[in-house]
């Protein structure tokens, strides 16, 4: 006998969430907090399984989410972190305030992979593809173990050839990149550099958060709210036929955005209230 499914699939709604469902879930969580995802749909009056509710909240409804396209700097950070952490998206996402693992994973699969391939780099190893083909003759894994499979021992990572601008200095020929010794850095050095970078970014976010407590302005601290600059924003169901500002205004009527920062504090408060 196998394990019980997380929910009774009969009578459970699936597929895209409606605005009404989102409002129900959001209102419920903001009023009651999250104690047990399994009970959330029942108590919130939703015909969804708890897992689905959790996912919807984490990936879409969480008020502290920063939506919109990834900046080049964020992309570079993702590339760097991926070279360290592999496909551990939740760990990568932890370095980005307001980004979800799902968002980063999707962005990686749809954009960054292609970008690296376009640059003649193997997305998994960040090595020039031509070189990888050479190593495919039984030498590849030996020379460049994948972060997922290596045990985190010191290894040479050549991603420093990706400078802070991401692409500017990258040769675009199919693997005509000559590996320079000075570009090779140790695992520890790499980690140190990335952590410094990440902490700078996160500090910036926190500082702007200190200065301005509204969620919409928090988002604008690191990216423009100009929709034309960030086409993906418009793909949210909320944005169909309305501007971003209209959407924010609408949500303001449902929720008090001023209460969201810091979100963790609010949940603690809700917990204590009960």
For residues 94 and 255, the answer to whether their CB atoms sit within 8 Å is no
By beta-carbon proximity to DNA, the closer residue of 59 and 220 is 59
By beta-carbon proximity to DNA, the closer residue of 38 and 134 is 38
For residues 92 and 81, the answer to whether their CB atoms sit within 8 Å is yes
For the bound state, the minimum distance from the C-beta of residue 232 to DNA, rounded and expressed in Å, comes to: 3
For the bound state, the minimum distance from the C-beta of residue 170 to DNA, rounded and expressed in Å, comes to: 19
For the bound state, the minimum distance from the C-beta of residue 189 to DNA, rounded and expressed in Å, comes to: 24
For the bound state, the minimum distance from the C-beta of residue 120 to DNA, rounded and expressed in Å, comes to: 17
By beta-carbon proximity to DNA, the closer residue of 51 and 160 is 51
For the bound state, the minimum distance from the C-beta of residue 126 to DNA, rounded and expressed in Å, comes to: 16
For the bound state, the minimum distance from the C-beta of residue 252 to DNA, rounded and expressed in Å, comes to: 20
Looking at the DSSP bridge assignments, the partners of residue 121 are 128
**Helix residue spans in the chain (DSSP H):** 19-32, 40-44, 50-56, 72-85, 89-93, 101-107, 113-118, 129-135, 140-143, 187-211, 215-220, 244-254, 263-273
Q: What is the CA radius of gyration of the chain?
A: 22
By beta-carbon proximity to DNA, the closer residue of 183 and 232 is 232
For residues 166 and 121, the answer to whether their CB atoms sit within 8 Å is no
How far is residue 85's CA from residue 82's CA, in Å, rounded to a whole number?
Answer: 5
User: Which phi and psi (to 5°) does residue 157 adopt?
Assistant: -125, 125
By beta-carbon proximity to DNA, the closer residue of 88 and 160 is 88
| Residues near DNA (CB under 7 A) | 3-4, 6, 9, 14-17, 35-38, 48, 50-52, 54-56, 59-60, 69, 87-91, 101-103, 105-107, 109-111, 114, 232, 234-236, 240
For the bound state, the minimum distance from the C-beta of residue 184 to DNA, rounded and expressed in Å, comes to: 26
By beta-carbon proximity to DNA, the closer residue of 54 and 134 is 54
| Among candidate residues 171, 255, 158, the one with its CA nearest the CA of residue 216 | 255
By beta-carbon proximity to DNA, the closer residue of 11 and 16 is 16
Q: Which bin fits 67, alpha (ψ -120 to 50), beta or left (φ > 0)?
A: beta
Q: How remote is the C-alpha of 94 from its chain's centroid? A: 8
């Amino acid at each position: 006998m196998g394990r019980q499914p997380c929910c009774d699939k009969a009578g459970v709604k699936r597929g895209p969430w409606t605005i009404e469902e989102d409002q129900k879930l959001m209102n419920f969580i903001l009023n009651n907090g999250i104690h047990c995802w399994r009970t959330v749909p029942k108590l919130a009056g939703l015909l969804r399984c708890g897992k689905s509710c959790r996912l919807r909240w984490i990936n879409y409804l969480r008020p502290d989410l920063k939506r919109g396209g990834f900046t080049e700097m964020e992309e570079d950070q993702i590339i760097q972190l991926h070279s360290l952490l592999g496909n551990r998206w939740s760990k990568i996402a932890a370095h980005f305030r307001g980004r979800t693992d799902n968002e980063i994973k999707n962005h990686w699969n749809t954009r960054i992979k292609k970008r690296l391939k376009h640059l003649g780099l193997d997305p998994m190893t960040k090595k020039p593809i031509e070189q990888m083909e050479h190593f495919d003759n039984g030498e590849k894994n030996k020379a460049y173990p994948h972060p997922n499979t290596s045990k985190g021992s010191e290894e040479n990572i050549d991603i420093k050839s990706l400078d802070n601008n991401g692409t500017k200095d990258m040769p675009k020929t199919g693997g005509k990149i000559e590996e320079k010794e000075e570009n090779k850095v140790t695992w520890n050095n790499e980690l140190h550099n990335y952590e410094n970078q990440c902490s700078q970014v996160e500090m910036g976010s926190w500082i702007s958060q200190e200065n301005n407590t509204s969620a919409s302005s928090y988002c604008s601290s690191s990216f423009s709210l100009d929709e034309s600059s960030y086409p993906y924003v418009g793909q949210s169901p909320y944005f169909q036929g309305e501007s971003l500002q209209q959407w924010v205004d609408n949500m303001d009527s449902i929720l008090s955005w001023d209460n969201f920062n810091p979100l963790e504090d609010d949940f603690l408060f809700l917990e204590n209230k009960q």
